[in-house]
Structure 1
Amino acid sequence: MMFKKVSFIFLFSIGLSVNAQQAVPFRITKHNNIIVKTLVNKKDSLDLMFQIAMEDASISPERQRKADHIVFNNEEVSEKNTVQIGKLTVNNVRFFDNEITGHEADGKIGTGIFKGKAFKIDYDNSQFLIYDKMPDLKDYESTPLFSENGQFYIVADNVIDGKQEEVYFLLQSGYSGGILYSNQFADEKELGKKLNLTGERTLKNSAGKSIVTQQGILPFLKLGNTVLKGVTAGFFAGDLKTQKSNYFGADLLRRFNWIFDVERKTAYFKPSTYFSEAYYKMN
């Protein structure tokens, strides 16, 4: 009898571990960036921006907090760091030095913290959920996820000048706005003539170089069966044009809750509480 009881407890504990999930809290800034509080190498308390477009981590030259216990080599790289985020501890994290990051952040942290796990960006509850096994996907749509050099791309349909265009977008949580088009796409589609332009602004890239973008309105963006209307869209103007990818920015990412499978081949999404919020205006 005792054997049966112990066996039941053992099997029950196995069941729990298979379906275990871990929650990692974050906060969302007014610029749509995700900030996680971290402790690096058990010494440095840093606010890092989650950057879905990278695997590793980095430190900004404009950081507000000290990072004295991250030791960089001559190539401005630091290997084998330990990062604690809430109850999650991640070892062997690589940091790069001197990379510009988002507002209110001392640096960036990428998707490497979820390596080998399925994970969810839960905007409704301001947390990441990490899964050993895929969760319930009821009410979620899915879209193929294309990975390249640790970056994720999805396909969405754009309606420009009455014509539907299929576009590959890089998921880019460091860009506060909606869409940022590549130079090639903007030039080929003559977006300066076809979008309703609303303004112009200057951005800084990760190297700190200034580049000029024009802002406009995309009438419709369709992701799966979900349609977004009046999406803010930008593209580069002037002589310095370095944009090689189309960005699906943080203002669009926050409008959905996302689940990414372990293999990073499929993204699942459903509207979040932010879905109908006013679009972010680039200053």
Structure 2
Amino acid sequence: MKKSLVVINLIFLILCLGSSYGQSRFNLPNGKSDKIRFKLAGNLIILPVEINGVELSFILDSGVSKPILFNFMNTDSLQIKDVEKIYLRGLGSGGMIEALKSKSNLVKLGNAVGVNQDIYVIFDSDINFTPRLGVQVHGIIGYDIFKDHVVEINYNSKYLRLYDPDHYTYKDCKKKCRSFALSFDNRKPFIDAQVTIDDEAIPVKLLLDTGSSDALWLFEDHELNIKPLNGIFFKDFLGKGLSGNVYGKRSKVNAFRLSNFILEDVNVAFPDSVSISYARKFKARNGSIGGELLKRFNIIFDYPNQKIVLKRNSNFNKPFYYNKSGIVLEQVGYRMVREQVNKVSYDSYGRKNDESTSVKVSDFYRYVLKPAFTIVDLREDSPAAESGLLINDIIISVNGKPTQNMSLEEANGFFTDRTGKQVRVTVEREEKERLSFKFKLEDVFKEKALKN
């Protein structure tokens, strides 16, 4: 196999591939549009994508250049062929990882078909975003879809619609929406915006990144006064890179502005400069806009005409929340749970008894596998850490509600509630020991301000 070096830049769930590719197209039959339903998990769009006839789940990332496949060991069923070995380098402090570049693949999203597509396959089991999202994810896809279509994303109704650019007509939405010019660097889309920090309006150029969970990432720049608001921040885990975890500072900006779209008190993360050194090679870039902010709009991406149309939706005025507990949860495997089941009984004539009869319906139990929501990180000095919770504790109930029937997102929702609310958790520790803890959610910024 021929060896080559391809650099991949991963921020949270961002993969930006820099290399040369043939411009094979994704085609829609007869120029028609196509509507594809998606899941929204952790502010990320999860789509069904077929690779050589096998349906998988991919994150839609507006910056990634080629499909990236991971968390899928049975590549024989995908008929992966015509491969060469490559090495990838990503965010984090670790080194490069080995992967395969495969050519001549058939990739399908809805009715859009791409033939002779390149795919990058990562075999490192640590590169797996399923635990962090709580839903199955096998890879990331992006630029190949966006470059060949006008792409409508409806975050409210959770669908994506592809249009043939030659047959698309823009609707007159008057004052309800705004059109913005896009610029591109290394196939990644950028937009000019404005942030207000300590009451100073600062123009910024930001990557539009549907593959990031956060609202905003900004690169600290003291010459431009891009820094944490009022100097108040807390250090936190920001995401996982190909080469390790990424940490940084979390803070707020007074406001974020795109034309007459203004959002106030917006969450922002300032990633550690060492972890994102490659991302900063585009000198004009000041950060990125992620899913927590993008989901407040219904969006039309038009790469062929280098523009984007934004229309505010019902999410627009919702507050920006932080996790006030300090707990970082992942779905780490499964646990065996005893579950009560109502067993239907019958009378002597073979008729089914129901609740309206005087005959008691009997119960029985069964054992089922349920997701194990595990604490994988704890913010230092956080309420959860000070209560005695530990990394690797499995949370089995929150406020008396069993987690076995929750999604990961539902479980995390308890930790973004109002400041001062008491949270009670029961965990399973080593040796199947069950322990209970309680703590109050805190406004970490107020606490930091008091300490300063």
Match of 1:194 in 2: 230
CA separation of 1:116/1:38 partners in 2, compared to 1, >3 Å: closer, same or farther?
closer
1:84 is aligned to 108
TM-score (norm 2): 0.53
1:24 pairs with 2:65: no
Aligned equivalent of 1:158: 195
Give the aligned residue type for 2:198. D
CA distance in 1, matches of 2:273, 2:310: 36
Higher RCO (CA-CA < 8 Å; seq separation 6+): 1
Aligned to 1:271: 312
Equivalence map 1:49-198=2 (5 Å): 49-60=59-70, 63=71, 66-68=74-76, 69=78, 70-71=80-81, 72-75=83-86, 76-98=100-122, 100=127, 102=129, 103=133, 104=135, 105-132=137-164, 133-138=168-173, 139-183=176-220, 185=221, 188-189=224-225, 191-192=227-228, 194=230, 196-197=232-233
The superposition leaves residues 46-66 of structure 1 with CA deviations (integer Å, 9 ceiling, x where unpaired) of 111001112311012xx2674
Aligned-partner residue type, residue 56 of structure 2: L
8 Å CA contact 1:147, 1:264 repeated in 2:
no
Q: Note closer, same or farther for the CA distance 1:225–1:143 as it changes in structure 2 (3 Å cut).
A: same
SS in structure 2 at match of 1:175: coil
Name the aligned partner's letter for residue 179 of structure 1.
Answer: L
- The CA RMSD measured in Å over matched residues stands at 2.5
Quick one: structure 1 residues 130 and 101, their matched pair in 2 at CA, closer, same or farther if it must change by over 3 Å? farther
- Count of aligned pairs between the two proteins: 260
Question: Would the alpha carbon gap of residues 257 and 66 (structure 1) be closer, same or farther in structure 2, given more than 3 Å must change?
Answer: farther
**Aligned-partner SS, 2:293:** helix
Q: CA separation in 2, counterparts of 1:106 and 1:274?
A: 28
Tell me the secondary structure at the aligned position of residue 292 of structure 2.
helix
Work out the CA distance in 2 between the residues paired with 1:264 and 1:182: 28
CA distance, structure 1, for counterparts of residue 235 and residue 50 of structure 2: 38
3-state SS of the aligned residue for 2:85? coil
Q: 1:145 to 1:238 in 2, by over 3 A?
A: closer
Aligned pair in 2 of structure 1 residues 107, 241: CA closer, same or farther (>3 Å)? closer
TM-score of the aligned structures, taking structure 1 as reference length: 0.82
State how far apart, in whole Å, the 1-side matches of 2:239 and 2:177 are. Answer: 35
Same amino acid, percent of matched pairs: 21
CA distance in 1, matches of 2:145, 2:47: 12
Q: Which runs of 4+ in 1 moved over 6 A?
A: none
Query: Structure 2 regions of 5+ residues with no counterpart?
Result: 1-29, 87-99, 329-452
Alignment match, 2:50: 39
Q: Which has the larger radius of gyration?
A: 2
